[in-house]
Every structure is written in C-alpha cells, then in structure tokens.
Structure 1
Amino acid sequence: MIQTMIDPVATLRTTLGHLEPAPSSSATVPPTLSQIYAPEGHEAALDPERPVVVGGRGTGKSFWSATLLDTTTRHFVAGSYPRLQLERCDVSLGFAGGDSDHHGAPSREELDDLINTDGHPPEKVWRAVVLRSVAAHVDLQVPTKLRGPDGLVTWVSADAARTQSLLRQADETLRQANRRVVVLFDALDHLGQDWRQIRERTRALLQVTLAMRTYRSIKPKIFLRVDQADDTGIGAFPDASKLLSPGSRVDLTWEERDLYGLLYTLLANDVQAAPLFSDMVREACSIVLPQDHQPTLPSSLKDDTGIQAKVFSEMAGEFMGANKEKGRTYTWLPKHLADAHGRVSPRTFLEAVRQAARHRDASQSRRALNPSGLRAGIQGASELRLQQLKEDYGWIEEVISPLADQQVPCGEGELFTRWNEARTLGAISHSNGRFLEPIELSETDNPQPAAILKALLRIGVAERRANGRINIPDIYRVAAKMLRKGGVTPKR
C-alpha cells in the first residue's frame, strides 16, 4: 500500500488561501463558533453598561451585534468575558438596517411610515421599539404592532408617564430575576434617505438611550460608524458627551496582537491545519497547543507580540528582504494595511494573508508565505478595502478616480486641481440619490474641494503630514493606482 506523503507547508498554505475575510456583516447572521476570536480589548464593546460602540468598516460592529443577538454565540463569548455575565442577558434587535422578524425590529420603510406619514416624533418611536423589545422577554400588556391608531407608538405617545412606569416595573422585574435585556441598534447609516433624516433619528435614539442610563436591567446598545459618531449634528442635545465623548464611547479597534491572535485562532480551529500549526508553534516557541475541538489560544499567543512574531517568522520568514533593512514581516504587514488613523480591519488583514498564500510564486517557497506574496497581499487587500469603502461611502468613487497616478505625499492644491478638472463636486451633488454625500458637503450651501479633503481626513483615507502635505496610506493608495516613492506598486 502506497502512503501519500503530506506536505505540511502546502497544506498550511492551502488553509491560509481559503481564509474567510468577512465571516459576518449582518447583525442577524451569527458567525460560527470557530470564527469567533475575543480580544481582551473588545470586552468593553460587548459590555451592556457601555451603550455606544464606534467602529469603522470591517472592525466588527455587525459581527459583535450578531454574536450578542444569537443565544449560542452569546453564551460562547460569555466564557471569554466572565465579568459581563452575558449568559444572564436576553438580547433583542431594535434596528439593523433591513427587514427583520427578530422581535419586530422596524425597517427604514416602517420608520418612514411612523415618522413622516403618521407624524410621530422619533423619540416616541424609539421608546416604543425598546418597550416592544422588553415585552419579548417580560410579560407586559402592550400592543404588539407598532403602527396604527391602536399600535404601540400611538399608545406610547398618548401617555409618557404610563410608558415610563411600565418600563420601570419591567426593569425591577428583571433586576429581581438577575437578568438584563439588551436592545441592539446597528447599521444606523440606513435610518433614512439623507443625512438630515439619519441625523434626526440617530439623535433621537441617543436621547432615549441617555434617558435610560439609570435603568439597571434594560440596556440599549448602539453601534455607530465613525463618521456618524463624529458628526456634531447628532450630538446637538444636552449631555450628549456622556455618550459620545472619547471617555464615554467605546472605540472598536484591533491591535497588532489581536490581528495575529485572530489568524492563529482560525488556524488552530481548522481540521487540516491544526496539527501542522501546532507543530509550528512548538518548534517556534516550545508552546504546546490544546488539542480539543475548539482550542483556546494560550495567553502568550494572544498577547505576547514577541512570541507571535516568532510563529509568524516560521510561517513567512523573519524579514521582507535579506535582512531587517526592508522590515520584519510581522510588523510590516499591519503597517501597510493601516488607514490614516492607524486602524487595521481584521477582514483586510485576513484578505492580505489569503492573497499572499495564493500568490503565483508561493508554491516555490519553503514557507507558507513569502515577502513577494505579502506585497501581493497588500494589493489584494487594498482592492477589497476600497470596495468596502465604496459600499459605505458611495461618493468615494468620484473622489478617488481622478487621483490615479498622482504621487503622494503632495500638496493639497494638487488634489484640488484634479477634483476641479474632473468636476467632482458636481458629480457628487448630482448623484440622484445613488449615495449619501459626505457630511462635510451637507454642512454648507457652497461646498469647496477642501470639504472633500476634510471628509477624507476624517474617515482615515488621507492624512496631513507635519509639513502640511497630504498622504494616502497604502491600503487605499494601491487600489486607487496612486504612486509613492518606495511604496507597494499598484496593479496595472
């Protein structure tokens, strides 16, 4: 009988080449348990006592919403964050941007009917949504439907004291039972058709959330995009800083060590790659991984960057060249994936590794990854990141396209000239509702190219250097086919 020899490097490379860069992008679709990695720094993001979580595209807002909403995944992460006692929480969905049958979260169209057609104030609508979410877990005698003369919003609007009294009673019932009800609000950029509607409805939700901070067992939890959280319009009410100030909100970020912890968790949970990855870890740093179905990484592999780097050196080599002059692979990869605020999306990171493993010369290397593959990974990840950016900011196509072949860093005037020549402002303002314009353009009746740059700086697509010149980080520059001396070359 002829035995087939297993090539461990090829097997590991195959697993890396099939990494899933986006395991969950909807609050109603939970991830599988093998896809969940719980960084220590994300505990606050799941804490029911922290009502506002802010994150960029791909940082995990909808991922964690979906994880909290599903009973199985919620109980799974409860083990990683025992202080939060998530196993004692019941979770409902207040809004997620689309049609949903999860305890009756309204769609945007339903909000339009309630607010625009029926004339209900947004605050009353959100009070009703929270009340109905609580009624799914506590026996309350309230109307089951939101709309209509006998609907819950009309019922709430008719008697504010009655509504508050009922919520207080429910809060006490939950407290005595040692339970909490968390009401999730995600994808708030879909609350309306334009920034005026979105701003008004988001502000109302924040006001209701602020008013309910004294409740001990009923906890609204809001996941916001960075641009919404930084929009001064949504915080235009007294004490908004108690929710939105840097010390109050939770910023959902991924440290370098978290990205590698995620990668190593996925490898340890993969049936084919787990034994090979375990051998690699043992050889690199003498750590023995547990062999159960869903092993928990040792804390050293999650938190010790020195040990993580040793493992990645086994996988990709230590340096991007013959020596440290070109950079170390472990730090080089996240550095070139970061936006202007230093943030790296886990989806982008996994996509870069996936593309690196699939690079045409990967099979000729004695390691699963190599420097030329990592450079190709940046190209592929940049294309994915720019596509994701277009989904959140439809106007970015009009802004980025005229900048092809522009070398950065450059003076802001060079960007303004290109946008003026391409009539970018006009293209954005005449989009016919295809996308929301940048918030900065909605703040004035006569926007100038400087407003576009301000928007790019805010969302991390551009950065202003100390000398005043403008730079575009590689994660956007490469796919935009912009140039930088000594940088990763764009695809042609």
Structure 2
Amino acid sequence: MWDKRSLLEQMKTIGPGNAEYDTRDPKSFFRNFLVVDDYRNALDPDTMLILGGRGVGKSALFHFLNLPGGPAGLLQTLRHPVPIAWERACWIRGYGRVEQDRSFPAPEVLQSKVDEADALWWRAFWIGLLIKCVLRDSTSELKEFVRHRIADGWRVGLESSLPKVTEWFPHIRGNMEFANDILDELDAYLAETDQWLFITYDELDRLVPNYHGLFAPIRELLAFWLDRWRRWRRIRPKIFLRSDLFSMDKLRFPDASKFSGHQVRLNWTPNWLYQLLIKRLANLEPPMHDYVVRIEGLIKGEDDRLGYLPTQDEGLYKAFIDGMIGPFMGANARKGITFRWIPNHLMDAGGQIAPRPFIKLFAFAAEREWKSFDAKALPEERLLRPINIQGALMQTSQDRIAELVEEYPWVSALPSAFRDVEVPAPEERLIVALKQAQWSNTEPPPSDEPRGVIESLIQLGILERRLDGRLNAPEIYLHGFGMKRRGGVKRPHS
C-alpha cells in the first residue's frame, strides 16, 4: 500500500519557487532540469537569439549554461552535439542576475540615462559591460590577456566588483576605437588557441523599470552583435529574450529579419512537459521515486549530474497519468481524456504551453488533495481526483495572470474590467469592458484605444480572434480574468 498522504506532500514541492532556479544548490537544479532536443540548436555557435514567452524556461537554460558542467551536461545528453571543441569553451554572463547578484547596474541607474542616451551611448555601454564581464567571469588566461591591454586608468572601474557605470563608462565612451581593438585582439587570440567565448544575456526585460524604455538598449544590443557577427569568429552571444520584446513593430529594428537564421524559439510539446513532470517526481526521495518507477520502463536511466532520466515513450506517460488520476476527467471519454485534457487546457491562444504552469497545475492539485485527504476517494494507485485538477486549473490561471502583471503591469486593470464577460464574445463587448478599465497613470496600456489593447492581447496569446470575428480567451487566462464560458466541465468553487 502507498502512503498517499506522503506522496501528496512530496508532489506539492515540485512547483517553481522550490529550488527551480536555485543555483546555490546545483545538484537539485540539474535534477529539476530537463534537456530537450531543441536545446541543441541553442548551443549552435550560429544561434544568437533564444526567444520565448514567460515561463518557457529561458532563465532555466541561461542558468544551466552558466553553471560549472552545464554545457557539458547538455552535450552528454543530446544525441547530436555540435562539433566544436566544447572543452575549450568559456561561458560568462553579459547580463542577467542570479540570486542576490549585484554584478550589474540597477534598473533605476540605467533609467536615469534613457532620455539622454542615443544609440552610440548604448553601444559604448554594451562594449564596456562586455569587457567588464570578461575581466570578472572568464578564465584566468582570458582575464590576463584582456587586463594587459587595458590602460592603467581604466582598470579600477572595470575590475571593480561594484556595478558603478560612472567608474568605467567615460573611459569606454571616450576611447571607443581602443575598446574595440581589445575585443578584436581577444577574438583573434581565441581563434589562434582554438577557444570559444560565449556571452549570455538574460532578464533584459529588467534593464530599466519602464517597459517602453527597454527597446532602445535592447535594439542596440542586437545591433552590436549583428555588426560583430562577421567581424568575430570566436566570441558569440546567446541572448535570451521575451518574444514580445523582439516584435518588429515594437522594437523598430530595421535589421530584425537578419536574425531569422540565427534564432530559436523555445516551444514545449506535451510529451516534453510530461517528461519534465516525471523527471521531477522521479528525482524526489522515496516513496515518490518508487511510485514513479512502478511503471516499468518509465525511467530509462540515471545520469551523474541530471539524475533520473525519463523515457520518450508517450504510451508510458499516459499509463502513469491514467494510474495517478484516471483515464477520464468525468464518467467517460466525452468529459475529456485526462492525458489530453491537461495540456489542452493550459495552451495559450497560440497553442503554446509553458512548463511553469504545467508543473504548477500538479503542485496545486496535490495541495488541494492533501487538504481534503480521503483515502477512500483515491482507489488503487490514484493520487489526484479530476475535480482537484479542475480546481488547480483555476489556481494556475490566477497565478498566470499574476505573472503577466509582473511583466506587463497594465494587465492588472483587466481582471476587474473582464469579470463576468462570457466568451467567445463579440469584439464590441470587450471594447465596452476596456473602456471601463481603471488604468494606472504610471503604467499605461500599450494603446490609448481599446482596439489597440485587444491587438496587443492577441499578440501575447491572451486572446484569440475566431473566424466569425468573436474574441475568445483560453482556459489558462479565462479564470484569472474572471471570465465565463458556457458549457464545459463544471469547476469547483474553491
């Protein structure tokens, strides 16, 4: 007999926030991380840009690549590694914090420069920050190579552990040719010694506090690396960027199309999501590990760094879910096949599912089941009832809206405006609702017109326009906004 209360206690801990990105504990971090085949493309030296929405795992991959042994872990797991001398590759952060990191300028500092900064100002900023990061994080060999080429007056600011821009920026801005020469010489040295230097960028949406102030520095960062693409052979960027920030009409970057051959988009398939769930559960202590491996063949092996690795056999994932929840979300298949119902109800309007809400759904369902634990209601090997999966979907939706508000503060006005709107709805119905929205003066919506706001919501995958012109909200956002839909499976009230 399984100790189901203990199993639920363990399942509650798998949600993000429980060491998901805690690089202070690399062992847990690696064991929570799933390597998928698409990451092979992210490792390719010709890939500059890694795009994705919130919660798709950009920051997880960023952290993974910057941990000792991270790139090696990817290469050992992927079936077709990129053929370069990876043992001669150095990975450093060009921007992106970990934990309570103070290596980079505070957003308020850069915000104070936004109004006065032109393209050349930002170009000097990114060049200087790159040199500073090489001196801080690269191998001792590369540090010394760069250090000996820096003028004595520059060293204090560039080698300081403090992120004060004023200590190094004037030197770079006034000596751009000299600064570029240093990086040119570094690239030539890397090629001569068969080495690579990868510069990773993340959290670019936190460069400055104001959303509209992000586009100038991001635009110049992309322009800088596009300019250096043919000039340098061994210094390569990996820029992790939210898809909406790369939108051509917002970024107003005339050469954005040139990135088409140098970018990948992180899109998760339902099979990968189930793999991630099973991997996280299998890497917990008993009894959860034992509960997972009761399905023969579900775990295909164990890696010293990545822990237990799940199979790619979809049939075994389904067997696991059917045993844990049941094959149907109701009395029969007409109420939904559980294995399909779960990912289908977590898709955004573009058909994309992020791993974060997928994992949270199971953590929330386990918490609901634990709070109302009734062993008699969980026959055989069942751990979760469909009604608690449905209730967890509502929690996940509310949580997803809270995440959106962190990225787009103007979204905070939508739940009160959209409450009780039944979708699919005519566009005019949502226009009326948006006219009643109480927008913040400090974080205005992306458009002064309701139709413009609707178009932004469609671009973000929050709303979809149907062929008949009506607007619809997918389940992952519907409950968080307080919207309604006629029909479907009845949801619990708490």
Task: State TM-score, norm by structure 2.
Answer: 0.84
**1:261-410 paired onto structure 2 within 5 Å:** 261-272=275-286, 273-279=288-294, 281-282=295-296, 289-290=300-301, 295-298=307-310, 301-302=311-312, 304-358=313-367, 359=369, 360=372, 363=375, 364-366=377-379, 367-410=382-425
**1:38-77 paired onto structure 2 within 5 Å:** 38-77=35-74
Is the contact between residue 134 and residue 181 of structure 1 (CA under 8 Å) also seen in structure 2?
Answer: no
Structure 2 distance, partners of 1:190, 1:171, is: 29
* Pair 1:88–1:256, CA change in 2 (3 A): farther
* AA partner of residue 458 (structure 1): Q
Is the contact between residue 54 and residue 249 of structure 1 (CA under 8 Å) also seen in structure 2?
Answer: yes
- Determine the structure 2 residue equivalent to 1:12: 7
- Determine the structure 2 residue equivalent to 1:228: 245
Is the contact between residue 124 and residue 172 of structure 2 (CA under 8 Å) also seen in structure 1?
Answer: yes
1:117-161 deviation digits (Å, cap 9, x = unpaired):
788611111111122223443121323425999954333333444
Task: State TM-score, norm by structure 1.
Answer: 0.85
* AA partner of residue 14 (structure 2): L
* AA partner of residue 365 (structure 1): L
Shift of 1:342: 1.3
1:323-362 deviation digits (Å, cap 9, x = unpaired):
2212211110011011111111211111111122233366
**1:83-482 paired onto structure 2 within 5 Å:** 83-84=81-82, 87-96=87-96, 104-112=103-111, 121-136=121-136, 137=138, 138=142, 139-140=145-146, 141-142=149-150, 143-144=154-155, 145=157, 152-214=168-230, 215-237=232-254, 239-243=255-259, 245=260, 247-272=261-286, 273-279=288-294, 281-282=295-296, 289-290=300-301, 295-298=307-310, 301-302=311-312, 304-358=313-367, 359=369, 360=372, 363=375, 364-366=377-379, 367-420=382-435, 422=436, 424=437, 427-428=438-439, 431-433=440-442, 435=443, 437-438=444-445, 440-441=446-447, 447-482=448-483
Shift of 1:72: 4.1
The number of aligned residues is 462
Shift of 1:96: 2.4
Is the contact between residue 356 and residue 362 of structure 1 (CA under 8 Å) also seen in structure 2?
Answer: no
- Where 2:81 maps in the other structure, the secondary structure is helix
Shift of 1:203: 0.6
1:180-200 deviation digits (Å, cap 9, x = unpaired):
222222122222343443111
Give structure 2 stretches of 5+ with no counterpart. Answer: none
> What is the RMSD computed on CA atoms of the aligned residues?
3.0
Give structure 1 stretches of 5+ with no counterpart. Answer: 1-5, 442-446
* Pair 1:391–1:288, CA change in 2 (3 A): closer
Structure 2 distance, partners of 1:148, 1:287, is: 51
Shift of 1:115: 6.3
**Identity within the alignment, %:** 27
Shift of 1:471: 0.5
Structure 1 distance, partners of 2:245, 2:461, is: 14
Moved more, 223-232 or 79-88: 79-88
Is the contact between residue 96 and residue 204 of structure 2 (CA under 8 Å) also seen in structure 1?
Answer: yes
* Pair 1:234–1:118, CA change in 2 (3 A): closer
Structure 1 distance, partners of 2:24, 2:452, is: 35
Is the contact between residue 385 and residue 475 of structure 1 (CA under 8 Å) also seen in structure 2?
Answer: yes
Structure 2 distance, partners of 1:115, 1:98, is: 24
Structure 1 distance, partners of 2:299, 2:36, is: 21
1:445-486 deviation digits (Å, cap 9, x = unpaired):
xx2110111111111110111111000111111122211012
* AA partner of residue 111 (structure 1): L
Moved more, 222-231 or 286-295: 286-295
Is the contact between residue 180 and residue 218 of structure 1 (CA under 8 Å) also seen in structure 2?
Answer: yes
Structure 1 distance, partners of 2:61, 2:55, is: 11
Is the contact between residue 114 and residue 213 of structure 2 (CA under 8 Å) also seen in structure 1?
Answer: no
- Where 2:236 maps in the other structure, the secondary structure is strand
Is the contact between residue 46 and residue 262 of structure 2 (CA under 8 Å) also seen in structure 1?
Answer: no
Moved more, 28-37 or 109-118: 109-118
Structure 2 distance, partners of 1:355, 1:70, is: 30
* Pair 1:383–1:288, CA change in 2 (3 A): closer
Moved more, 331-340 or 184-193: 184-193
Structure 2 distance, partners of 1:118, 1:461, is: 34
Structure 1 distance, partners of 2:340, 2:392, is: 14
- Determine the structure 1 residue equivalent to 2:77: 80
* Pair 1:234–1:97, CA change in 2 (3 A): farther
Shift of 1:116: 5.8
